[in-house]
Chain A
Amino acid sequence: MQEQSIHIKGGRLIDPRNSIDAQADVFVANGVVCAVGDAPLGFAADSTIDAAGCIVCPGLVDLSARLTNLDAELLAAVAGGVTSVACPPDTKPPLDEHSLVERLVQRSESIGLARVFPVGALTQQLAGEKLAEMAGLSRAGCIAFSQATRPIFDTQILFRAMQYAATFGFAIRLQPQDHYLALNGVAHDGEVASRLGLAAIPVCAETLAISTALHLARETGVRLHLSKISSAAGIALIREAREGGVKVTCDVAIHHLHLSETDVGYFDSHARFDPPLRASSDRAALRAAVAEGVAAVCSDHTPVDEDGKQLPFAEATPGAVGLELLLPLVCKWAAEDGVPLAAAIARVTSDPAVALGVDAGSLGVGQRADICVFDPEEPWCVRPEALHSQGKNTPFLGWELSGRVRTTLVGGRVVFSI
């Protein structure tokens, strides 16, 4: 199919990678950005997108989204302005075989919405015992390797996995949580869990696992990404390691920027997360770290059906949908904390693209035209029927947010518009 020439007109272009925050038109042809500002010589637009009053930015890059129903969730992605999605390997069956990865990549390409970057299993069956065929998985399309939320009990295996990945320059992603310290835990070890009688996960479950991962990363030289950091102490360890020269990046899930342990309220299963919502002081530290650029932000999109949430808190499936909430919730945080919008957008575009090592999150001339056009002022209320995702599970139901995606382009094609 011949890509159209598109003129995105009259918008405020925010392209953090290229340090642009200005009124500027964007010209798209042959699937790439062909000019910014003035039209290239002889450019004839097949169509024009009126972006007056809107922000034009790179399509969002989500570091972690579960794509339970590929069609529905990829539509949810582009409806949220997300054009690149890294999906964790804890699918059924897990992404530990190249044929599964190839099929996922092919199916997502044929759907033609957001691009999917599979994260392969670090160990076979995610059992934490035998290394998965990382080189083969990489050839099939995996951009990193991870255990998702599954533990590796044996630190020697983790050490070997890092050494092996480092051999080929593969990145490893870990969600740091000590299995035993977190065993049976469902909530932050603090005042709320004590009052509600919920089994608790102490902060040291996170810091211990971060320390272990950082030590091994320093030793092996592997490119390490730590996902869903939930505590002030955890983020402090990562900041210190980065200053000490360790090749480590990290992210924070969007719900951890807005919610804390008190949002569990009276056992609200929509506030059950893994890792758990922590104290308000942790939330403040996470917000500061994201503002500084120490951490990127991910949606941690996890569709859960009603049956998985209509259970006592400890038995409910953790997680919330977030692809369609990521952008407005990032804008909300930026507005509340006085963070420049360009910095906020960097946390969900260029920063995660760097962490993933993928070619995305930038609108330089010649780059793929993955673009999000959104109205930063448009208010909307989070309601189940407003979400394209198959999952309607979110603690943000009923929240009034600002920022609505108008148009999303993937590879120079309009894949979503309202």
Chain B
Amino acid sequence: MHNPQLNAHGELTHLLSIDGLPRDVLVHILDTASSFLEVSDRDVKKVPLLRGKSVFNLFFENSTRTRTTFEIAAKRLSADVINLDVARSSTAKGETLLDTVDNLVSMHADMFVVRHASSGAPYLIADHLRRTGRDDVHVVNAGDGRHAHPTQGLLDMYTIRHFKKDFSGLKVAIVGDILHSRVARSDIQALGALGAAEVRAVGPRTLLPTDIEQMGARVFYDLREGVRDCDVVIMLRLQNERMNGALLPSAKEYFRSYGLTPEVLALARPDAIVMHPGPMNRGVEIDSEVADGPQAVILSQVTFGIAVRMAVMSILAGN
């Protein structure tokens, strides 16, 4: 089956998922991001790579944080950025997703950054653009349902590479609500493609997807066992609506079983780093002492995120 993210020359034309992307494509994005990192330290934080291009932030699901980082990244590339709060406008008036897309294409959009509550929505848009002969318009998935959050996955890889230099031999634990997490799926796939030695999925059975082993993850129900000897611990955010109900009895009980405390972290390798995609629930999935401690690299992730998103947008625009 043809991977809809790649063009006939195997170049990245959309970024929809990490799934199926070859290692060299991922490494190229990370290397390009390195070159953009210093742009943010300049007095004039801009490069002209996307001058004259229009980037539409198409957020069907609210997210100030991710949208802002995409906006900053696009602006640093000198693109014109248009933020559409579709959650509150067009769709509320009954317009379909693809009608919205057609309208924006007519306004000469060059790139869509899409966030949607339904898994696969960016694929639908990319497929529609192909069928309507608009292969020149690029789609970046900024998070679709539980499926993928590829730029988050890439910035996590950037962070790991920055601190650990090399993926081979690394043991990485991903802890928490993996079932509902698009970040976890993208991380597992990226770590697999980049050759991490072991990826662990840690959580209660109610929050682990069926057959997650098929994606290359080793399952642990016990946090201590899952974290033991790891080089990287990625904590996932536990959404409020999952805390009390049939998935988990309470946030308090969750923290007791799966919260990352200094005592648990001590079981990992001494130089282990702690990551979190944000926003954190202190005292639910992570203890403040860990979140603010020397092993946490959570704020570095945010900084690298802008460089990674610049890299993705500039590569897509060039292909």
What residues make up the interface of A, taking CB atoms closer than 8 Å to B?
Answer: 189-191, 193-200, 202, 265-267, 269, 307, 310-315
Contacts of A194 in B (CB 8 A): 209-212, 214-215
Q: How far is the CB of B187 from chain A (nearest CB, A)?
A: 13
Q: Considering only CB atoms and an 8 Å cut-off, how many residues of chain B contact the other chain? A: 28
B96 and A265 contact, CB distance less than 8 A? no
Compute how far the CA of A312 lies from the CA of B101 in the bound complex, rounded to whole angstroms.
14
Assuming the contacts A266-B1, A311-B97, A312-B97, asked whether A197 and B148 have C-beta atoms less than 8 A apart, the reply is yes
Whether the pair A196, B209 counts as a contact (CB closer than 8 A) is no
| In-complex Cβ contact of A313 among B118, B148, B185, B214 (8 A) | B118
Complex contact A312–B210 (CB within 8 A) = no
Which of the candidate stretches B119-127, B228-236, B270-278 sits at the interface with the other chain? Answer: B119-127
Name the distance in Å between B160's Cβ and chain A's nearest Cβ. 22
Contact between chains at A200 and B210 (CB < 8 Å) = yes
B185 contacts across to A, CB distance below 8 A: 195, 197
Residue B87 CB within 8 A of the other chain: no
Given the interface contacts A197-B146, A267-B124, does A315 sit within 8 Å of B210 by beta carbon? no
Interchain CA distance A307-B210 in the complex, whole Å:
31
Q: Does B75 contact A (CB under 8 A)?
A: no
Q: Which residues in A have their C-beta under 8 angstroms from that of B116?
A: 312
Chain A minimum-CB-distance residue to B127: A266
Chain B interface (Cβ < 8 Å from any Cβ of A): 1, 4, 19, 96-98, 116, 118-121, 123-124, 127-128, 144-148, 182, 185, 209-212, 214-215
| Inter-chain contacts of A310 with B (CB < 8 A) | 96, 98, 124, 128
**CB-based contact B120/A313 at 8 Å:** yes
Contact of B210 among A193, A196, A311 (CB under 8 A): A193
- Nearest Cβ in chain B — how far from A205, in angstroms? 13
| Complex Cα–Cα for A312 and B146 (A) | 13
Q: Is there contact, CB below 8 Å, between B1 and A313?
A: no
What CA separation (Å) do A307 and B95 show in the bound complex? 12
B300 to chain A, nearest CB (A): 27
Instruction: Report chain A residues within 8 Å CB of B98.
Output: 310
Nearest Cβ on chain B to A297's Cβ, whole angstroms: 27
State how many angstroms separate the Cβ of B142 from the closest Cβ of chain A. Answer: 15
Cα(A202)–Cα(B182), bound, Å: 21
Cα of A194 to Cα of B208 in the assembled complex, Å: 9
For the complex of A and B, 8 pairs with smallest distance between CB atoms: A267-B120, A197-B146, A197-B147, A312-B118, A194-B209, A197-B119, A312-B121, A191-B214
Task: State the CA gap A307–B98 with chains docked (Å).
Answer: 10
Residue from A189, A202, A313 in contact with B119 in the complex, judged by beta carbons closer than 8 Å = A313
Give bound CA distance, A87 to B144, whole Å.
37
6 extra interface residue pairs, beta carbon distance < 8 Å, beyond A195-B19, A310-B96, A312-B145 = A189-B210, A190-B211, A193-B210, A196-B147, A197-B144, A197-B185
Q: Are A196 and B97 in contact (CB under 8 A)?
A: no
**B120: which A residues are within 8 A, CB to CB?**
196, 198, 266-267, 312-314
> Are A190 and B210 interface neighbours, CB within 8 A?
yes
Q: How far is A297 from B57 in the complex, measured between Cα atoms in Å?
A: 47
**Distance in angstroms between the alpha carbons of A250 and B231 in the assembled complex:** 54
A230 vs B186: C-alpha distance in the bound complex, in angstroms?
30
A residues near B127, Cβ cutoff 8 Å: 266
Residue in B118, B214, B215 whose CB lies within 8 Å of A314: B118
A314 to B19, CA, bound (A): 20
25 A-B pairs within 8 Å (CB atoms) are namely: A191-B215, A193-B209, A194-B215, A195-B185, A197-B119, A197-B144, A197-B145, A197-B146, A197-B147, A198-B119, A198-B120, A198-B146, A200-B210, A266-B4, A266-B120, A267-B120, A307-B96, A310-B96, A310-B98, A310-B124, A310-B128, A312-B116, A312-B119, A312-B144, A313-B120
Contacts of B118 in A (CB 8 A): 312-315
Bound-state Cα–Cα, A330 to B151, Å: 45
B216 CB → nearest A CB, Å:
11
Residue from A193, A194, A200, A312 whose CB has the most chain B CB atoms within 10 Å: A312
